[in-house]
Amino acid sequence: MANYSEQIKLAHGGGGSLMQELIHREIVPALDNTSLRQLADSARLEAPGSTLAFTTDSFVVQPLFFPGGDIGTLAVCGTVNDLAARGAKPLALSLAMIIEEGLPLEILQKILHSVGESARQANVNVVTGDTKVVERGQAGQIFLTTSGVGIMRDGLDFTPDRIEPDDVLIINGSIGDHGIAVMSVREHLQFASPVQSDVAPLAEMVQIVLDACGNKIKCMKDPTRGGLASNLNEMAQLVGFILEEEKLPIRKEVLAACDMLGLDVLTVANEGKMIFAVAPDAAQKTLDALHSHPLGRNADVIGRADQRAGLVRLNTHIGGQRILDTPYGEELPRIC
Amino acid sequence: MANYSEQIKLAHGGGGSLMQELIHREIVPALDNTSLRQLADSARLEAPGSTLAFTTDSFVVQPLFFPGGDIGTLAVCGTVNDLAARGAKPLALSLAMIIEEGLPLEILQKILHSVGESARQANVNVVTGDTKVVERGQAGQIFLTTSGVGIMRDGLDFTPDRIEPDDVLIINGSIGDHGIAVMSVREHLQFASPVQSDVAPLAEMVQIVLDACGNKIKCMKDPTRGGLASNLNEMAQLVGFILEEEKLPIRKEVLAACDMLGLDVLTVANEGKMIFAVAPDAAQKTLDALHSHPLGRNADVIGRADQRAGLVRLNTHIGGQRILDTPYGEELPRIC
């Protein structure tokens, strides 16, 4: 287990085991309640007449603009996708901005434009907000925090404890694109065709899958910080998973960049991907539903659940097997 | 009108006219929708079976700890009070933290403890959250963003357009305490008895008032950034207001500090106050209800609405009258 630290480190924000430790040792005990303890992508709330999903995320990505998106796109899609992972249809978003004094108005305008565009694409409104300004050098130009409220489907939840051995793992497309798109700007990497972030709002695509397959969909998760490795480990509560390396959809530029940067693509963040754990008899129907949507066109089966609870394994190209651990911290700081 | 600026200034975050301009020129057009256009303390959402209030606020206060509270107390109470101002009963809160690398764990623990305590006091749970860590020097130690969802009362809303001439203005206690408590630490002011922030969650007190007076309560607003001056100007849409200076509840230490710092107490932030605009025949009932609650013990009438739409005037001690404008920016940066 990770060493416990008396000061906050960058790695505490990395979506890995050090962050899990901070959450379990400090945050959950201080704020203790049943909903929080679930630690799902969004919380479930009972309101008179409906069940709601509620989620929040802060965005501190550097640089603010990258191929395929910017901090504004990310802030909308990240929150929409956390609602989608709980099967919820987005009802409304909030947007809180912490802006650094001296930020050119033009940059703020571009970011607000992206927020508006992404919200329209996700068919949801930003209905409330807040603006704070802090002194120069105190907020990496701009930080955004979005929260979202969604309406959950009657009687359907998608928590990891529903996954059974032999359930099939499906993802809606290639992995690692977002992290590498951001890193390529930061590290001045050149590609023949530049890697674009996959940032996209997935709620509509998820609703199509749920309309087709209902409770045959056992669990969903959007593998952002910590990538597939971290998120599959979080899903591996009562089951384990076996992934097939040759089935993993990875662009060759992404793989090349990972090699160059010494990164494991399985720990790199995605912002437009959803992992589905699906009953075996609904796998084809899930794929069909995904293929009918532009954001699911490249969906494929990448592995399956087995009985070795808590263990995520990868069958490699060359016939070996390796264990995919939760990464410790963050190999890629400020990726979202 | 304020000069328009090509860069963001500290004053853009001050709750004054410059912030209003940023909101109206940039934010609302980019994100345009009916709910946002209301620019209320919280937005109204229609969910199947219930009407929800939804709100968000970021907190960047410096220093993190001050007499009477800290950034954690503030983050919970600020959001609870925005729900309360719309008559909503808090259903759940979210907490997103942006932490600076190197923050002593002890400080984080204290802040989380305050969040937990304030949430218990407000009878609401923090059900979802997010943690990001940024490099040293990039986040003033820690920034918090809370969002809140509340259940609105059936068929009752509390928007400024409901206020009529002769409606009575009531506040639940002394003004300026929060701003001066924070400034006294920043400016090393010494008082015989130190000024404590009034930070407190007001939802329970507001529900008691609404139970007693229902739709006789026309509008409510919690006068945070920009103080009474800014918030009464926001309420003065179809009516004007006349305040009686001699009725304004102000502690003498607060007044002394304002004199020393060159501040107008009417522009100083509060974090445990609610302004009620009330039908004249319900004024006494409102006061009785407020007096029955610990946070409303010092409630009093401070003025009334008249027909001079958009104008807020103050009848002074010495028999004169002055116009209370919306302050331009922020005399007190990073007060919440």
pLDDT tens per residue across all 336 residues of chain B = 345 568 998 888 887 888 888 999 999 999 988 888 888 889 999 999 999 999 999 999 999 999 999 999 999 999 999 999 999 999 999 999 999 999 999 999 999 999 999 999 999 999 999 999 999 888 789 999 999 999 999 878 899 999 999 999 999 999 999 999 999 999 888 887 889 999 999 999 999 999 999 999 999 999 999 999 999 999 999 999 999 999 999 999 999 999 999 999 999 999 999 999 999 999 999 999 999 999 999 999 999 999 999 999 999 999 999 999 988 876 678 889
Nearest to A48 among B32, B49, B57 (CB): B49
- φ, ψ for residue B316 (rounded to 5)? -85, 165
Buried b (16+ CB within 10 A) or exposed e, B169-185: bbbbbbbbbbbbbbbbe
| Chain CA centroid to CA B46, Å | 24
- CA separation (Å) from A134 to A97, A145, A251, B63? 11, 15, 40, 13
Distance CA B240, CA B260 (A): 31
| Amino acid letter, B290 | L
From chain B, the residues in CB contact with A40 under 8 A are 128
| Interchain CB distance below 8 Å, B143 and A143 | yes
Least Cα separation, residue A69 to chain B (angstroms): 17
CB count in 10 Å sphere of residue A91:
24
From chain A, the residues in CB contact with B12 under 8 A are 99, 131, 133
From chain A, the residues in CB contact with B32 under 8 A are 116
- φ, ψ for residue A96 (rounded to 5)? -110, 130
User: pLDDT at residue A120 above 90?
Assistant: yes
Per DSSP, A275 falls in state E
| Interchain CB distance below 8 Å, A55 and B94 | yes
| Confidence (pLDDT) at A13 | 85
* Three-state secondary structure readout of B235-287: HCCCCEEEEEHHHCCCCHHHHHHHHHHCCCHHHCCCCCCCEEEECHHHHHHHH
A121 vs B: CB within 8 A: no
| Confidence (pLDDT) at A244 | 96
A97 vs B: CB within 8 A: yes
| Interchain CB distance below 8 Å, B147 and A147 | yes
Distance CA A28, CA B126 (A): 10
Distance CA A189, CA B9 (A): 34
A192 vs B: CB within 8 A: no
Report pLDDT digits (tens) over A85-112. Answer: 999 999 999 999 999 999 999 999 999 9
| Confidence (pLDDT) at A232 | 97
From chain B, the residues in CB contact with A52 under 8 A are 47, 52, 149
Least Cα separation, residue B262 to chain A (angstroms): 22
Distance CA B122, CA B145 (A): 17
SS3 B96: strand
From chain A, the residues in CB contact with B125 under 8 A are 31, 33, 35-36
Q: What is the mean pLDDT of chain A?
A: 93
Least Cα separation, residue B207 to chain A (angstroms): 18
Nearest Cα neighbor of A232 from A274, A174, A271, A261 is A274
| Interchain CB distance below 8 Å, A92 and B132 | no
| Between residues B335 and A55, the one the model is more confident about | A55
Distance CA A12, CA B133 (A): 7
For residue A330, what pLDDT band results from cuts at 50, 70 and 90? low
B313 vs A: CB within 8 A: no
CB-CB contact of A282 with A269 (8 Å): no
With 0-12 / 13-18 / 19 or more C-beta atoms within 10 angstroms meaning exposed / middle / buried, residue B239 is buried
| Interchain CB distance below 8 Å, B12 and A133 | yes
User: Which of 161-190 (A) contact B at CB < 8 A?
Assistant: none
Residue of A nearest to B92 (CA): A45
| Interchain CB distance below 8 Å, B151 and A48 | yes
| Between residues A80 and B2, the one the model is more confident about | A80
A and B: number of Cβ contacts within 8 A = 286
**pTM check: above 0.80:** yes
B13 vs A: CB within 8 A: yes
For residue A2, what pLDDT band results from cuts at 50, 70 and 90? very low
Residue of B nearest to A330 (CA): B133
Nearest to A108 among B26, B140, B151 (CB): B26
Distance CA A321, CA A318 (A): 9
ipTM computed for the complex: 0.94
A115 vs B: CB within 8 A: yes
Report pLDDT digits (tens) over A209-228. Answer: 999 999 999 999 999 999 99
Nearest to A52 among B47, B98, B116 (CB): B47
Question: Mean pLDDT across the stretch A41-53?
Answer: 93
